[in-house]
Structure 1
């Protein structure tokens, strides 16, 4: 099969990502082999590729990447199943997560996949798993957003942000979305009640009284984020890039976690779980018309490095997908 290969860490995708011919993965009795029809890139792709911040390396590999490639989200067709797998059969269209998803075939577990939403193309479905699961857990599970609440979403035009705006809107919240000038109309179309151009206005200036702040992008100071919340509001930090090689901006999340027990506000972060239950919840929302992936551009597997570069340039809205040729 053709797959993306990464032999070493590096911050420039063109220098470290290449395609090669590899053997198909061999699956165990509790695994599923999927013929990948599409995949997608996200900010986590770059972190795995670069091995930055260094705090990720105990998992990704201390001196070099343990994973053959940094792909995670995919959509495709079941090729074969292990002897102990139930609920899936060859020919089923599925979506979910796998290790090394930037390839023509990927091995995964049945608890990481779900039937593909019928109304989505493979490229659209591949854009969902990692980013939408993160948004679902940030908005519903950790932000505990409810009908009538006021919610602020920063980084609203990105992969996670476009899903977070729609999810908060679907839960009946009044959504304020933060994006750049060129992306305001796209974010408004997703259900935002109010949009803020971060190039012209500080979205945290003055007390706003948000019941929840879903902080996806930027490096706003913790005290400013807290000031935007109600006295019992909830801050959920899901992103924020920094220049530090060791922590890369995650020190803000750590400080929020440490401070939370000493205030009436709930301040925190989380590591998103990749599981089939969440995927089925997302499918229900997609089928009901309450959620849709925004795919900015589709690249081929051979152009994976260019896809990651497009993501890093920051001009995209929503997700960047990869398509694989039909076999």
Structure 2
């Protein structure tokens, strides 16, 4: 089978398709024929070996062998199951998240049946399903952990990205007044997704405005608690998806919410229901064939993607 592999840290060109052995499911595993996967900002950082402290996990001089196949989101069909699998059967269409196992950028992947995996929404194609996994579940996790309530004023920094585009929609569904921070070219998009107000970050610093917020959700890790604190209400919280400093800061103040762990399985069931009901929009910026996955990395690395970047994997049936 083909898999996207990188054996050294560097630019998008270090990743290419290799022929590798097709995996076989163990007793408690399912073998999935991958139909669609994604390229995320986090995976681009991993490919570069950044941040440097992350190399404790990735590998110091070059990627560890088990980390050389990237990809965390997928949608596809179950081709075979192990003898102890009860959740799924051959032919099931599924979507899910590999976590630190990675490996979704491949024609096939094996996952434990208890992994973050669910039946694919009947109304969504493979590309839309794959692109709904991590961004939507992460947005839901952070908003919930920050204690969102109806009537809350929520500011979402990076509102046009994968996590941000879902955060805008979910915050509105949860009854919040949403202020979206993004570039001018994405103002119409976030308004369509439900934002009540839009701040153009190229013209205005949100932290110097007169408004107060119950939650500032930094989906990019490019702001800071010091900036957000100026506009947070007395019990307001700053939620941020990345950064070792932020994770350490969360240990000393309950006003900083970080993602020490994100439970995906329950979130996938909720996402599935929202997609089937037509109550959640999947924003796909660009679609690439598997053979052009390096180009997908190159586009994501610009930092200007809208929503999600999907990679389609076409296989002979």
Give the TM-score, by structure 1 length: 0.90
- Corresponding residue for 1:63? 61
- Report Cα offsets for 1:146-174 as digits up to 9, x if no partner: 11111000000011110111110110110
- Corresponding residue for 1:164? 167
For the 8 Å contact 2:154–2:216, the answer to whether it is kept is: yes
* 1:272 CA displacement: 4.4
The separation in 1 between residues aligned to 2:37 and 2:166, in whole angstroms, is: 17
Q: Within the alignment, does 1:267 sit opposite 2:256 as a pair? A: yes
The separation in 2 between residues aligned to 1:278 and 1:25, in whole angstroms, is: 28
The separation in 2 between residues aligned to 1:256 and 1:289, in whole angstroms, is: 38
- Corresponding residue for 1:250? 244
Equivalent position SS for 1:293:
coil
Q: Give the one of 270, 286, 289 matched to 1:281.
A: 270
For the 8 Å contact 2:247–2:260, the answer to whether it is kept is: no
Give the TM-score, by structure 2 length: 0.93
- Corresponding residue for 1:298? 287
- Corresponding residue for 2:129? 125
Alignment of 1:1-327 (within 5 A): 1-10=1-10, 12-14=11-13, 16-66=14-64, 67-98=67-98, 99-111=102-114, 112-140=116-144, 142-217=145-220, 219-239=222-242, 250-251=244-245, 253-254=246-247, 256-260=249-253, 266-273=255-262, 275-327=264-316
Equivalent position SS for 1:56:
helix
Equivalent position SS for 1:290:
coil
Structure 1's consecutive aligned runs of 4 or more residues displaced over 4 angstroms after TM superposition are none
Gaps of 5+ in 1: 240-248
* 1:74 CA displacement: 0.5
- Report Cα offsets for 1:200-234 as digits up to 9, x if no partner: 11111144221111111353342220111110011
- Report Cα offsets for 1:117-146 as digits up to 9, x if no partner: 111111111111122221110112x12211
Equivalent position SS for 2:83:
coil
Equivalent position SS for 1:188:
helix
For the 8 Å contact 1:177–1:187, the answer to whether it is kept is: yes
The separation in 2 between residues aligned to 1:62 and 1:274, in whole angstroms, is: 29
For the 8 Å contact 1:188–1:195, the answer to whether it is kept is: yes
* 1:96 CA displacement: 0.4
* 1:255 CA displacement: 5.2
CA RMSD of aligned residues (A): 1.6
Deviates more, 1:61-70 or 1:79-88: 61-70
The separation in 2 between residues aligned to 1:298 and 1:199, in whole angstroms, is: 28
Equivalent position SS for 2:170:
helix
The separation in 1 between residues aligned to 2:25 and 2:106, in whole angstroms, is: 15
For the 8 Å contact 2:158–2:164, the answer to whether it is kept is: yes
Gaps of 5+ in 2: none
* 1:302 CA displacement: 1.0
